Amino acid sequence: MPPSASSATNLAAGYFPGAHGENAEWMHSALTAVLDHWFDWRRGLFPNDAVPGPTPHRAADRETLAAQLDILCRSLTGETPTCTPRYIAHMKSDISTPALLGWMAAMLHNPNNTSREASRVGTRLETEAIAMLASMLGYGPTTAQGHFTSGGTAANMEAVWRARYRMDHWLSLALCLAETKGRALDVFADAHMGWVQFRALRQSHDLNDDLLRRYSAAAGNPMDVWRRLDRASASRWRGPVLLAPATAHYSWRKAANIFGLGEDSLWSIGLDGDGRLDMDDLERLIRRARDEARPILMTVAVAGATETGQIDPLDQLQMRLEQLKAEGLHIWNHVDAAYGGFFQAAGPVFDTRTTAALGAMGAADSLTIDPHKLGYTPYACGAFLTRDAASYAVSAFDAPYLDRPELGAGKWSSTLEGSRSAAGAAAVWLTGKTLGFDADGLGKILAETVRARRQFQATVIDHVAEARFLEPADSNIACFSIAARGEPLSVVNRRTEALFAAIHRSPEFSVSKTRLGEASAALVARHVARWRGTADTSSLILIRCVFTNPYWSEPNVRTALFSEFAALVNEEIKKRALPG
Ligand SMILES: Cc1ncc(COP(=O)(O)O)c(C=O)c1O
């Protein structure tokens, strides 16, 4: 039956191993076929070459290996069982069969996607798989560029690297003109000048890239260039800032640190009462950046916040950045859709606000998406994409020992990471070719994870009157605390800690816990108001439940496990009596 005719339950049953290994027999045969291909291929290669004869050691070696392999496999059964829907702790669940088989098939050949020379087929699969993701995300599949990374952290760093490359070009040109032609330097305006003005100035002054390198902080000595920026602008150069919402993943702070921007350069955009990027606060930070002459290296918006699953108003942000662009202020717009990128395929499960926000992803300069989260591929598989080739351009690094004609005359390395496996690309490719990245395939399963989250909340509220969920929840992550009317937040937080510890001790369910702080003040205030409590502390601790597991599509699984979870919560909170 084609995916379009299948229900989410059937898709989950058909495209995943099964929580109890229901597809074991079929997977055995599919994996054997993969191995057969691999061995046939090897046998067919240079069949007349000499091979080592039988050795007496072979049997003994195999015995040792088999014994140790058995020990390894047994020890791995002690791993966290993330395949079961009872695991709702983090953004991880079962891996799909196409992803696993695609990953294994490619992994056996071990291609290194650092160059086409080292990976003839793997690099082609990568191009095709990136085009599949690009189409789903709203980019043009032939104009978008991108590559697979080890994960969302590396993909986010790819974005910082490219945004810095772009701003460095614009500032280098402005410094060059200031020093050689006496043109007035306005660091804020010039750092956002746009490629059109850059090209016009470069052409009219007959400048070239080699010359501009002498004015580049990225290519030359940054301290030297910064001092010259001070002199030319008659002000103190304080470096660029990154604007990211308080929900931004900690990899952004890491990136600010690693790229030498300094962690202080990460300015946190406050959240609105719904836990999403607050557009007014963004406006405030843009004004502040302008006042302090600190160019905005990039804005980051999040589609699927790590802690809460919220989806920022990407459409409003995009519209505002377009207005600024019309005023000559070109600001890089990155969407961290590491978690929520695949929701693009989920169709009508979302309200109009969320649908409009997701629909704006295709206008971003760059995107992060993690197939190893809601794409159900094995680790380590993230992806970084840009809308077009110009945004993909980055600092040039020649690798004299690699033949890479595909990268053009310069043979530049265009990825942060060096050696890169093609296995993730193959996993995505096979998923795209079978389950599909649309509303009839993967999207159907993801829509059910959102519905499962809604049903979970309704069931828990039904059984536990004092359950207070963070609302609205945009996707498939539910966060809650247990609070009696009028209770101070500090008391509620202590109960949440105790409940988390109790669930953690029980073998039945795995949940996680998160803490929202100062930057989420509006969200925290709205949450505390749900039980008319007092916010005697600024931090809110929540139980966090992440519904990524595909088997939540099955109505019987939901009915049975949600009630069981609610009963567990009830039992635990009875032990720590709530005030009447
Ligand atoms: C929104 C977001 N961005 C980036 C990351 C980092 O991804 P990774 O752990 O694959 O590096 C995460 C991880 O949870 C995330 O949720």
* 414 pLDDT higher than 70: yes
Report which residue type is found at 223. M
Cα–Cα distance, 397 to 335 (Å, whole number): 26
Q: Evaluate whether 535 touches 528 at the Cβ level (below 8 Å).
A: yes
**Helix axis angle, 97-109 relative to 24-44, nearest 10°?**
20
* 302 pLDDT higher than 60: yes
Q: Which residue has the tokens 């940054």?
A: 222
* 296 pLDDT higher than 60: yes
Residue 515, pLDDT score: 95
pTM score: 0.96
For 125-147, the DSSP string reads: HHHHHHHHHHHHHTS-TTT-EEE
| Rg of the chain on CA atoms, in Å | 26
Give nearest CA residue, ligand 1 atom 14: 306
408 phi/psi in degrees, rounded to 5: 95, 180
Cα–Cα distance, 93 to 85 (Å, whole number): 8
Residue 52, pLDDT score: 77
Sign of CA dihedral 393, 397, 398, 402: negative
CA 172 / ligand 1 centre spacing (Å): 33
Residue 385, pLDDT score: 97
pLDDT in tens, 96-108: 999 999 999 999 9
Residue 190 Cβ < 6 Å to ligand 1: no
CA 150 / ligand 1 centre spacing (Å): 11
Residue 378 Cβ < 6 Å to ligand 1: no
- Mean pLDDT, the chain, rounded, equals 94
Residue 475 Cβ < 6 Å to ligand 1: no
Pick from 249, 302, 311 the residue to mutate for probing ligand 1's pocket: most ligand atoms within 8 Å of its CB.
249
Residue 104, pLDDT score: 98
* 279 pLDDT higher than 90: yes
Residue 249 Cβ < 6 Å to ligand 1: yes
Pick from 339, 377, 477, 546 the residue to mutate for probing ligand 1's pocket: most ligand atoms within 8 Å of its CB.
339
Q: Which atom of ligand 1 is nearest the CA belonging to 153? A: 11
pLDDT in tens, 548-565: 999 999 999 999 999 999
Tokens of 479: 């966060």
DSSP state of 553: G
Residue 576 CB neighbours (<10 A): 12
Q: Which atom of ligand 1 is nearest the CA belonging to 152? A: 7
CA 210 / ligand 1 centre spacing (Å): 37
Average pLDDT over residues 59-75: 93
Give nearest CA residue, ligand 1 atom 4: 152
pLDDT in tens, 200-228: 999 999 999 889 999 999 999 999 999 99
* 399 pLDDT higher than 80: no
* 578 pLDDT higher than 80: no
- For the CA atoms of 269, 472, 346, 344, the dihedral, rounded to the nearest 10 degrees, stands at -10
Residue 341 Cβ < 6 Å to ligand 1: no
Collapsed DSSP state (helix, strand, coil) of residue 574: helix
Residue 375 Cβ < 6 Å to ligand 1: no
CA 338 / ligand 1 centre spacing (Å): 6
Tokens of 109: 């050949």
CA 363 / ligand 1 centre spacing (Å): 21
Tokens of 93: 């669940």
List, edge to edge, every strand of the sheet that includes 477-482: 467-469, 477-482, 540-546, 512-516
Within 8 A by CB and 6+ apart from 470, the residues are 275, 308, 478, 479, 480, 523, 527, 542
Residue 218 CB neighbours (<10 A): 19
Give nearest CA residue, ligand 1 atom 6: 152
Pick from 306, 311, 334, 417 the residue to mutate for probing ligand 1's pocket: most ligand atoms within 8 Å of its CB.
306
* 579 pLDDT higher than 70: no
CA 300 / ligand 1 centre spacing (Å): 13
Give nearest CA residue, ligand 1 atom 7: 152
DSSP state of 277: B
CA 374 / ligand 1 centre spacing (Å): 11
CA 249 / ligand 1 centre spacing (Å): 6
Residue 411, pLDDT score: 36
Residue 453 Cβ < 6 Å to ligand 1: no
Q: Which atom of ligand 1 is nearest the CA belonging to 154? A: 11
Tokens of 355: 């649908």
Residue 152 Cβ < 6 Å to ligand 1: yes
Q: Which residue has the tokens 């519905």?
A: 451
Residue 301 Cβ < 6 Å to ligand 1: no
Residue 2, pLDDT score: 55
Average pLDDT over residues 16-31: 97
Residue 302 Cβ < 6 Å to ligand 1: yes
pLDDT in tens, 30-52: 999 999 999 999 999 999 998 87
CA 152 / ligand 1 centre spacing (Å): 5
Residue 462 CB neighbours (<10 A): 12
Q: Which atom of ligand 1 is nearest the CA belonging to 305? A: 1
Within 8 A by CB and 6+ apart from 49, the residues are none
Residue 451 Cβ < 6 Å to ligand 1: no
Beta pairing partners, 302: 336
Residue 339 Cβ < 6 Å to ligand 1: yes
* 358 pLDDT higher than 50: yes
pLDDT in tens, 495-511: 999 999 999 999 999 99
Residue 51, pLDDT score: 82
Angle of CA points 264, 268, 273, to nearest 5°: 160
* 398 pLDDT higher than 90: no
Residue 151 Cβ < 6 Å to ligand 1: yes
DSSP state of 215: G
Residue 338 Cβ < 6 Å to ligand 1: yes
pLDDT in tens, 123-167: 999 999 999 999 999 999 999 999 999 999 999 999 999 999 999
Residue 412, pLDDT score: 45
Beta pairing partners, 186: none
Residue 94 Cβ < 6 Å to ligand 1: no
CA 378 / ligand 1 centre spacing (Å): 15
Residue 340 Cβ < 6 Å to ligand 1: no
In whole angstroms, how far apart are CA 507 and each of 20, 503, 504?
17, 8, 7
Q: Which atom of ligand 1 is nearest the CA belonging to 90? A: 14
Burial class from Cβ neighbours inside 10 Å (0-12, 13-18, 19+) for residue 163 reads buried
Tokens of 218: 């990225």
